[in-house]
Amino acid sequence: MSAHSHVDGKLPHEPEKATLEGRNKVLGFWLFLGAETVLFGTLFSAFLALRHQVGDGNPSSQELFELSTTAWATFILLTSSLTSVFAIQAMHTNKVKSMIIWLVVTVLLGLGFLALEVVEFATYVDEGHKFSTSAFSSSFYTLVGFHGAHVLFGVLWISILIAQIFKKGLTVVTAPKIYVAGIYWHFIDVVWVFIFTVVYLMGKVG
């Protein structure tokens, strides 16, 4: 039952599920994502309820949003999701080096996404779309900002995990952490799919 009971030099095919601790971690994290679903869902619903409350003289969503920026952000995040899958696949075949490389690529893409978002927000603020401008702006920044904060947390988290892999190697203790971080990263991507659809594309339509 202990964290070490299954280690005998060779890692099993799915090291994240080799121990009860690992299985608990994966299951508990999935349950947490169920809660995150409701968290983002509620943020989405607040945004949906308030997105037309722009106020007089403030820039509307059609005027603000640039489809090209959103497209780039989407492309970057989607690609990072793919690279994190490659990392998990490398982990399953016990290729530690290629796993680390894919994780580093994932982190770099995440940073790229964040940079785009910061620039985007700065532009909006210049155009008079501040957090306190209108109900639309408050709900917009809260929803997209919550997602951005999740990306930032993911970037920091995966970076720490990369450092741990260097120090401790891939074991039945570190493998569930990597797996769970991978699931988290996909979830962020899934949320973004709805953000670009509901916030940006539907905002562009009107």
Partner 1 sequence: MSAEHSAVEEREKHHKHEGPKKHIIAFIFSILLTIIAFAMVAAGEINTTFIYIFLVLMAAIQVFVQMGFWMHMKDRGHAFPIIGILMGVFVVFTIVIMAEYWAWW
Partner 2 sequence: MAHAHKVKRYSGLMDWLTTVDHKKIGILYLIAGGFFFLVGGLEALLIRIQLWKPLNDFVAAHTYNELLTMHGTTMIFLAAMPIIFALMNAIVPLQIGARDVAFPFVNAIGFWTFFAGGVLLNVSWFAGGAPDAGWTSYAPLATNTFSGGHGVDYYVIGLQIAGIGTLVGGINFLATIINMRAPGMSFMRMPMFTWTAFITSALILFAFPALTVGLVAMMFDRLFGGNFFEPTNGGNAVLWEHIFWIFGHPEVYILILPAFGVISEVISTFSRKRLFGYSSMVFATVLIGFLGFMVWAHHMFTTGLGPVANALFSIATMLIAVPTGIKIFNWLFTMWGGSIKFTTANLFAIGFVPTFVMGGVTGVMLAAAPADFQYHDSYFVVAHFHYVIVGGLILGLFSGLYYWWPKMFGRVLHEGLGKLCFWTFFIGFHLTFFVQHFLGLMGMPRRVWTYLDGQGFNNLNMISTVGAFLMGVGTIVFLLNVVITSFKPRNATNDPWEDGRTLEWSIPSPAPEYNFAQTPLVRGYDAFWKEKMEGKKEMLPAEPLGSIHMPSPSILPLIMAVGLFISGLGFMYGKGDYGDGFKAFLFNNHIVAIIGLAITLACMFLRSVIDDHGFHIEPDEITGDKGVKA
Query: Residue 163 burial (CB < 10 Å; 0-12/13-18/19+)?
Result: exposed
Angle at 158 between CA 140 and CA 96, to 5 degrees: 145
Which of 18, 54, 107, 172 touches partner 2 by CB under 8 A? 54
Residue 174 CB neighbour total at 10 angstroms = 20
Q: Which is nearer to partner 1, 102 or 141 (CB)?
A: 102
Kindly state whether residue 74 participates in binding partner 1, applying the rule CB under 8 A: yes
Q: x/- site string to partner 2, residues 88 to 127, per CB under 8 A?
A: ----------------------------------------
Q: x/- site string to partner 1, residues 76 to 95, per CB under 8 A?
A: --xx-xx-xxx--x--xx--
Give the H or E element holding residue 107.
Answer: helix 96-126
Spatial distance between the Cα atoms of 95 and 170, rounded to a whole number of angstroms: 9
Which of 12, 46, 85, 116 touches partner 2 by CB under 8 A? 46
Alpha-carbon separation of residue 54 from 11, 93, 196, 206 (angstroms): 56, 52, 19, 12
**What is the DSSP track for 48-77?**
HHHTT---TTSPPHHHH--HHHHHHHHHHH
Query: Smallest distance, Å, CB 203 to partner 2?
Result: 15
Query: Smallest distance, Å, CB 167 to partner 1?
Result: 27
Residues that bind partner 2 (CB under 8 A): 1-5, 20, 23-24, 27-28, 31-32, 34-36, 38-39, 42-43, 45-46, 49-50, 53-55, 131-139, 142, 157, 160-161, 163-164, 168, 173, 177
